[in-house]
Amino acid sequence: MGALLCTGLILLIMPPPSMALEPLPGREREEGFILEDNELYQNHFQGIRIRGSIPVTVKNCTFRSNGRGGIAIERDSQVKVIGCDLFQNGMAGINLDEAGDTVIDNNKIFKNKMAGIRIWRSGEKEEFVSRVRITNNRIYSNDQAGIRSMPQGSKSVEVSAIGNEIFGNDKAGIVIENNTRLTAKGNSIYDNGTSGIMTYQSAVLPELDIYQNNVSFNRGVGIHILNGRTGDIGIRNNWIYNNHRSGILCALWNVPDVGSVNAEIINNTIVSNGSADQGAGIRNDSSGKVVIMNNIVAFNYVSGIITRGCGGYAHNLLFANGEVGNCCEDPHTAPYWIESLQLGGCQKRGKGDLICDPMFVDPDNYDFSLRDGSPAIDAGDKYDDILMPPSQGTSKNDMGATGGPYAITQEGVTAKSEGKTKRLSRAVLKAQPQSTKE
The answer to whether position 349 is within a domain reads yes
The answer to whether position 337 is within a domain reads yes
Residues 259-311: tens digit of each pLDDT: 689 999 999 999 999 876 677 999 998 888 999 999 999 999 989 999 988 88
Contacting residues for 19 by C-beta, under 8 A, at least 6 apart: none
Report the DSSP pairing between strands 180-185 and 157-162.
parallel
Domain that holds residue 285: 2-14+30-429
Q: How many domains does the chain have?
A: 1
Q: What is the pLDDT of residue 160?
A: 97
The answer to whether position 253 is within a domain reads yes
Residues 357-415: tens digit of each pLDDT: 999 999 989 999 999 999 999 999 988 888 888 888 777 899 999 999 999 876 533 33
The answer to whether position 435 is within a domain reads no
The answer to whether position 91 is within a domain reads yes
Instruction: Say if residues 244 and 274 touch (Cβ distance below 8 Å).
Output: yes
Instruction: Say if residues 269 and 294 touch (Cβ distance below 8 Å).
Output: no
Coil, strand or helix at 371: coil
Amino acid letter at 98? E
Instruction: Say if residues 10 and 33 touch (Cβ distance below 8 Å).
Output: no
The answer to whether position 434 is within a domain reads no
CATH number of the domain residue 340 falls in: 2.160.20
pLDDT bucket at 68, cuts 50 / 70 / 90: confident
The answer to whether position 228 is within a domain reads yes
> Cα(195)–Cα(226) distance, rounded to whole angstroms?
12
> Cα(385)–Cα(130) distance, rounded to whole angstroms?
34
Prediction pTM value: 0.87
- Percentage of residues in the chain having pLDDT higher than 90: 55
The answer to whether position 236 is within a domain reads yes
Q: Please, is 361 exposed, middle or buried when counting C-beta atoms within 10 Å of its C-beta (0-12, 13-18, 19+)?
A: middle
Does the pLDDT at position 2 exceed 70?
no
Report the DSSP pairing between strands 425-429 and 415-420.
antiparallel
Coil, strand or helix at 323: helix
How many angstroms separate the Cα of 72 from the Cα of each of 57, 118, 162, 323? 13, 10, 22, 50
Residue 61: is the preceding peptide bond cis (ω within 30°)?
no
